[in-house]
Amino acid sequence: MVELQDVSFSYTKEVGTLTHVDLTIRPGECVLLCGASGCGKTTITKLVNGLIPAFTEDCTLTGQVLLHGAPVREQPLYQLARQVGSVFQNPKSQFFNMDSDSELAFGLENQGMTRGEILRRLDDTTDRLHLKRLRGRNIFAMSGGEKQLLAFASVYAMGPKLYILDEPTANLDRETIERLHDQIAYLKSRGHTILIAEHRLYFLADLIDRAVYLRDGIVERIWSGAEFRRLAETERIALGLRTLTPTQVTLPPSRAAGEQDGLSVEGLSCRYKREPPVFQNLSFSARPGEVLAVTGDNGVGKSTLSRCLCGLMRESAGTIRLNGRILGAKQRQRIAYCVMQDVNHQLFSDSVWGECQLAMEGLSDQRIQEVLERLHLLAFREKHPMSLSGGQKQRLAVATAMLSQKPLLVFDEPTSGLDYARMQEVACCARELADEGRVVLVVTHDREFLQCACDRVLEL
């Protein structure tokens, strides 16, 4: 079905992203690409769906990528689109329409299918994938999980033989991941070929026929499905892979409301204008030095809770206290800080150093130096924040949080698309912030991360 013959690729002339990769994917096979961030997984997926080299300039590509025996680079992208379906990582940037039906029909309209046939395919798709409730909806009002399922369904509607999934679960909760698992299983049972690049592996373990492990653009290992499932814990960790089995959360629940020391939330309700409350009568406490996980499925109000705690929206009922003192929304803005899911939204200065100076007035150079040193960012002090890698940006946001000396800190979904090493790193950051005497809340639906990073858990 797909053949990579001695493929080497680099974005610029100097560094190689892939080196001498040979890989054959047989029809009906489900193949996993795994390895640390930046190991070349995504590059391989893009070579197969044709985005490389069509969408890259100044790259060097040698070797052959064949689809059904024909070189991919010689086929126009629209022809590939009829055979290869691609689902990407970010559910927000994969749709073109505002309503779900038009989105499902998008690929079919492009192929010039008749209206009757489009309608038949739409019904068939939502029947087979059990997604009836996604029909006729406003996409901007959907949760991230629903958007991703819709993206998957829109690709399915086009009826490709080969599916390419690039970190499809990066932003999904446990329930949606289970649904995605079932959908992939269904595709497999129908004899479709699947190539999937992922960090989160537990949900895939039973589906894959082969796993390809990449390190720095080189195929290091290829396991059969059975070999992969037998992989020893120690070896998995040494390879920097995330867990292969579902994580059991064994953390104690959050403390009851009323702590005098730290954060205490009593009978909290939040609602957006004229809508039913997102959550009601919520009570819990968190002590300084403690990392509290806030978890629950997409759409239960995790983000609303963190916005409310940070004073970015008003509570409709209940009180929020810090060290026994009731705080209004404006006051909470002064004591709370948030490391956002997309850190691009919160870096404003033109250098790493400047970003740190913005954190608080009257910071000494020595203090900034110390914090940057601790987060391994000192070497980048003169660089523009936007030129940093994803992980470095996140650490920079953590640095500004440390410097701001605010007593309450919220991490909002810090783990989307993280490999094992980055996951440990974020856990470490959260721990350090807590050790400095802050109340740290981590909003996440990543159970593996939650279990390794937090002390207690609040399930919404």
Partner 1 sequence: MVFDPRVGLALLVFANLAAFSEQPFWMEMIWIGFLLLLMLLHRCFAMVGKSLLIFGGILCLQYWILPAAPGWVATSFSIFANYARRMMPCLMLGFLMLRRTPMPYLVAGMRKIHFPQRLIVAVSVTLRYFPAIREETGYIRDAMRLRGIRGLAKLEGIMVPLMVSATGTAEELSAAAVTRGIEDPAPKTSLVELRASPVDSAAFVVGVGLTAALLAAKLGVFPW
The footprint of partner 1 (CB under 8 A) covers 49-51, 54-55, 76-78, 80-82, 84-86, 88, 90, 92-99, 101-102, 105-115, 118-119, 122, 140, 151, 154-155, 158, 307, 310-312, 333-334, 336-338, 340, 342, 344-348, 358-359, 386, 400, 404
Task: Please report, for residues 31, 37, 164, 169, the alpha-carbon distance to residue 229 in angstroms, rounded to integers and kept in the order given.
Answer: 14, 21, 22, 20
Residue whose CB is less far from partner 1, 140 or 379: 140
Smallest separation, CB 311 to partner 1 (Å): 8
Residue whose CB is less far from partner 1, 254 or 392: 392
* Residue whose entry in the numeric block shows the structure tokens 């909760």: 173
Residue whose CB is less far from partner 1, 85 or 225: 85
Q: Are 270 and 247 in contact (CB under 8 A)?
A: no
User: Checking DSSP bridges between strand 439-443 and strand 291-295, what pairing results, if any?
Assistant: parallel
- Please give the distance of CA 234 from its chain centroid, rounded to a whole number: 25
Residue whose CB is less far from partner 1, 82 or 236: 82
Q: How far apart, in whole angstroms, are the C-alpha atoms of residue 190 and residue 31?
A: 16
Task: Please report, for residues 30, 120, 348, 365, 412, the alpha-carbon distance to residue 375 in angstroms, rounded to integers and kept in the order given.
Answer: 39, 55, 19, 16, 19
Smallest separation, CB 370 to partner 1 (Å): 21
Q: How far apart, in whole angstroms, are the C-alpha atoms of residue 153 and residue 124?
A: 10
Residue whose CB is less far from partner 1, 49 or 264: 49
Phi, psi of 140 (to 5 degrees): -65, -15
- Please give the distance of CA 319 from its chain centroid, rounded to a whole number: 32
Residue whose CB is less far from partner 1, 281 or 344: 344
Smallest separation, CB 90 to partner 1 (Å): 6
Residue whose CB is less far from partner 1, 66 or 119: 119
Smallest separation, CB 456 to partner 1 (Å): 24
| Backbone torsion region of residue 178, taken as left when φ is above 0, otherwise alpha when ψ lies between -120 and 50, otherwise beta | alpha
Smallest separation, CB 333 to partner 1 (Å): 6
DSSP 254: P
Smallest separation, CB 358 to partner 1 (Å): 7
Smallest separation, CB 352 to partner 1 (Å): 14
Residue whose CB is less far from partner 1, 154 or 264: 154
Smallest separation, CB 4 to partner 1 (Å): 19
| Dihedral in degrees, nearest 10, Cα atoms 10, 195, 86, 177 | -120
Strands (E), 207-339: 210-215, 218-224, 263-270, 279-286, 291-295, 317-322, 325-326, 336-339
Q: How far apart, in whole angstroms, are the C-alpha atoms of residue 343 and residue 354?
A: 16
